Structure 1
Amino acid sequence: MGNVKCDLLQVLASTHPNFPTWERIHLETSTMNKSITQSLWTIKSKILKLCLFLFLATMAFMGFHYHSINMNLVPSTVHPRTVESLYPYLIEEPSKCRGDPPFLLLLIPSMPQDVLIRDVLRKTWANESLVPGISIKRIFLLGRSFVNDTEVSVEQESSTFHDIIQQDFLDTYRNLTIKTLMGIEWVSRLCPRASYVMKVDGDMFFNPWFLVRQILQPEKPLKLEFFTGLVVRGAPFRNKDSKWYISYEMYSKNLYPYYCSGTGYVFSGDLSPRIYKEAKGMTIFPFEDVFLGICLERMGVHLSKSGGEWFIGERVEYNRCRFTKLVTVHHYSPDELLKLWPDFLKALGDCNG
C-alpha cells in the first residue's frame, strides 16, 4: 500500500501545480528513502558475496597448506620445538630420524678436526648396520672450530655422511656439557621416539651387540626412566690448578651425587626432554657426567647399576673373549680399533657360539 500511495502522490504533484507543499515534501522524502534503501541493500549484498568468497578461499588455502605440511614437508618424527637450543645450529640434520624410530641412537662427542677418528668409528662400532634386525643411528656432536678451513671440511663431511650436528659455540673441553645438551635437545625434538640413547666418547672400545642383547633386550617391554653406565661418586676438586676444578660458588656441596661416567652411558629416550628441561633451569658447569647426575637427582630418577663389570672407565688390554662381554672400555685409539676389530668380529662367534 505504501508504494501505491507514493506513486499516486507523484502523479498528483506532476499534474496539479497547487498540490499542497507538505504532500510534495513528503513525496520527495519517501522517494529519497526508497532510493537510499535500495542502494544500501545493493552494497550489503556485494559485501556479503565478498565475505563469502574470502571465507571459502581461506578455507581452501588452509586445507591445502595443512595437507602439504603433513604429507610432504615435515618428517613424521619432528615435534614442535618446546624448548629453545642453547646456541644456534650450524648443522642440524632434521631428517635423520625420518621414518621408523631407531631402537638405539648413538651420540658421539667429537671435535671438528677429528676427521680420522670419525672415519674409523663409522667403519667399526658406529657402523649403523652392525646388529642384525636392530635399527641404530649415529650422530656426531660438534661445536665450532677456531679455523675456517676446518669448518669448510666439516660441511663437506656432513654433506657426505649426514651424521653430524653442530652448534655455534667454540668446541673446547669446558664446553662439553653444552655439547652433550645439544645432543639431548636434538633427540627430544627431532628423534623423540628413539627407544634408547647411548652417549659414548670417541676414544672408546664399544660393543653394541652386548648392550643390545644383554642389557636393552629389544624382545622385552621398553624400560622407562632408565639410565645406566659406570656408576661413580666423587668429591669436587677445589685445587685451582686441577683440570677438574670447581668453585664453591658453582657447586657448594662436599660430594657429587651418584652419576654415570661420561665415557659411556645409556638411557631411555623418554628421559631426553625431561633432562633438557631440568638442565635449562640450572647453572651449567663443565663436567657433563656430573651435571647430568645432578639433573637426574633433582628429577628423582635413580641410576640402574649394571649387573656386572660391563662399563670400564680405564684402559684394559684387549682380550677377545672378555671384550665380547663388555659394553665399553676406555682409551682405544683409532689405529688400535682398526687392528682389533676384525678379530673381535670373529670372537663374537667363537666365544659366544
Structure 2
Amino acid sequence: MVTVLSAPTWWNVRFIFFAFLAIWSVFALSTLKQLGTGNGRIKIKEIVAIEPEDTNIENELLQLPNEYLQNSTVLQHNFRYIVQPNLKDSCELSSETIKYGTSLGKVSGKTRKPPLLILVLVHSSASHFEHRRVIRETWASSGKLLSKVVFLLGNPHNETTQTKLAEEIKIHGDILQEDFYETYRNITLKALMGLKWAAQHCPRAAYVVKCDDDMFVSLRRLLNDILHQLLPPSRLLLCQPVRHASVERSGKYGVPKELYPFRKWPEFCFGGCWIASRDVISDLLQVSQVTPQIYLDDVYVTGILRIKSGLKITRTSQTNKLFCHARGKPERVMELWRRAINANGAESNMKFYDCFH
C-alpha cells in the first residue's frame, strides 16, 4: 500500500527543507564576509557561466586518433608521495552534507565546520619559492575559510632545493610532492597527481581549480558565484577555450607524428586556469587510466580526456574577471593583486586586460 502525505504533512516537509536552506545560506554568506579581504562588498551575480555550445561530442570524438579512442592497458599512477599537504581535517567528509556535496560538519555548541567550496591545485616547479610566496600573500589569502590551496611538485633530485623545500613544508603544510622527475615533459604526471589526490583525499571539495604558479586567480569572485548558485554543481568544466590549435612538431610544445598524427588539437582549455566540479575530477581520472598519455597536460586532460568523458566545455564571457596570466613573473601577480584591491581592502569590480596573449 502506498501512503500519500496529507497536505499539512507535505507542507511541513517543505517548510523544514526551505528553513534548512535559508539557515545554510545565512551561514555561508556570513562566512563570505569574513574571507580575509575587506567587507565583502562584491557585486552579486557578477560572473555567470554560459551553457556549453551545442557541440556534438560524437563529432569531437572524430577529432581524436584511434589510439586515443581505444582503451589501452590500465595505466596506474603509482608514484610515491614524498609529502602530502596537511589538510585532512578540511578535506575529509563528515556526517552532514549540503547540496553541493561539501560538508558543514557536526555542530557542537557554537563550533561549526565550514564547507570546503574550492580546492585549488597549483602547478609549481620545486625551485619556484618566490612564486609560491607571492600566491600565499596575495590571492590565496582571500577565502581561506571556504577554500584551500595546494602546490603540486615533482622531485627536483637536488639536495639543496629539497632541503629548502623541507623548511617551506614545515611552515605552510600546503605542498603535494611525488617522486617523479621535476621536468616540463612530466607536467602531465603532475596533472594526474593532482586529479588523483583531489579525488581520493579531498572528497569534501565541491569544485577544483587547476592553475599555474604564474596566474592571478580571483577566489573571492568564484566563491561569490558558488554561494549564489551561479555555477552548475556538476558536469562543469569552466575555462577559456582554445579552438583549432595546430599541433607543433618542434620546440617546447612539439609533439612528433608518431605520438599524435593529426594536424589539429581538439578543443581544450587554456592551461593556465580552469574550474571543474568534483564529479568531473573523478571522471577525468578514471578515463586517464585507459588512455595513452601525451606531455601537454592542457590538451590531454581538458581535450582528450574531456571528450572521452562526454563532457562539454562551459565558458563565460567574463573570464578576465576570474583569472589572469602573469607570464612567469611573480611580481606581476603582486601587481595584479594590488590593482584588484581598493582603498578599503576589498576586491574591486575590475577586469584584467591583456591576460591571454
Corresponding residue to 2:332 among 324, 336, 339: 336
Q: 2:341: which partner in 1?
A: 345
Which residue type is aligned with residue 289 of structure 1? D
For the pair 1:189 / 2:200, whether they are aligned, the reply is yes
Contact 1:195 1:222 in 2 (8 A): no
| Residue equivalent to 1:126 | 140
**Which of 291, 294, 299 lines up with 2:304 in the alignment?**
294
> Amino acid of the residue matched to residue 108 of structure 1?
V
How far the C-alpha of 1:218 sits from its partner, in A, is: 4.4
Query: SS at 1:285's partner residue?
Result: coil
- 1:203-247 CA distances to partner (integer Å, 9 max, x unpaired)? 112212222324x4444685211001110124443433x221112
Preserved contact between residue 140 and residue 163 of structure 1 (Cα < 8 Å): yes
CA contact (8 A) 1:106 1:138 kept: yes
For 2:274, give the aligned amino acid: Y
1:303 aligns with 2:299: no
Contact 1:205/1:332 (<8 A) preserved: no
Aligned equivalents of 2:263 and 2:172: distance in 1? 45
Q: Secondary structure at the match of 2:208?
A: strand
TM-aligned CA distance change 1:329 to 1:112, over 3 Å:
closer
Q: How do 1:29-68 residues align onto structure 2 when only pairs under 5 Å count? A: none
Task: Note if contact 1:124-1:341 (Cα within 8 Å) is conserved in structure 2.
Answer: yes
Structure number with greater Rg is 1
Q: Which residue of 1 aligns with 2:274?
A: 265
Rate the CA distance shift 1:346–1:276 in 2: closer, same or farther, 3 A: same
Q: TM-score, normalised by structure 1?
A: 0.65
Change in Cα spacing, 1:221 to 1:228, as seen in structure 2 (3 Å) is: closer
Task: Flag the 1:257–1:120 CA change in 2: closer, same or farther, 3 A.
Answer: same
Name the structure 2 match of 1:254: 263
**Change in CA separation of 1:349 and 1:195 when aligned onto 2, cut-off 3 Å:** closer
Matched residue, 1:93 = 85
> Among residues 226, 240, 249, which one is paired with 1:230 in the alignment?
240
**In the aligned structure 2, how far is the partner of 1:350 from the partner of 1:175?**
37
Q: Distance in 2 between matches of 1:234 and 1:330?
A: 24
Instruction: Kindly tell me the number of residue pairs found equivalent between the two proteins.
Output: 251
CA shift at 1:248, angstroms?
2.0
Separation of aligned partners in 2, 1:138 and 1:221:
20
> What is the alpha-carbon distance in structure 1 between the residues aligned to residue 341 and residue 248 of structure 2?
44
* Equivalent in 169, 177, 194 of residue 180 of structure 2: 169
| CA distances 1:161-218 after superposition (whole Å, capped 9, x unpaired) | 110000001111111111011001000000123110001111112212222324x444
Cα distance, 1:218–1:143 mapped onto 2, change above 3 Å: farther
Q: CA deviation at 1:327?
A: 2.8
2-structure distance, mates of 1:210, 1:123: 18
CA distance in 2, matches of 1:258, 1:343: 32
1:350/1:136 CA distance change after superposition, 3 Å: closer
Alpha carbons 2:247, 2:262 under 8 Å: kept: no
Give me the TM-score of the superposition, normalised by structure 2: 0.64
Higher helix share: 1
Q: Unaligned 5+ residue runs, structure 2?
A: 1-74, 95-102, 104-114, 351-357
Equivalent-residue separation in structure 1 for 2:228 and 2:179 (angstroms): 36
Whole-angstrom distance in 1 between the partners of 2:186 and 2:264: 22
Q: CA RMSD in A?
A: 2.4
Partner of 1:146: 157
Would you say 1:274 and 2:264 are equivalent positions?
A: no
Deviates more, 1:153-162 or 1:279-288: 153-162
Asked which structure has the greater RCO (Cα within 8 Å, sep 6+), the reply is: 2
Relative to structure 1, is the Cα distance of residues 349 and 126 closer, same or farther in structure 2, using a 3 angstrom cutoff? closer
Cα drift, residue 343 of structure 1: 4.1
For residues 246 and 288 of structure 2, what CA distance do their matches in structure 1 show? 19
Runs (4+) off by over 6 Å: none
SS of the equivalent of 1:270 reads helix
What amino acid sits opposite 1:295 in the alignment? L
Provide structure 1 residue ranges, at least 5 long, that are not aligned to the other structure: 1-82, 312-324
Q: Are 1:117 and 2:111 matched, yes or no?
A: no
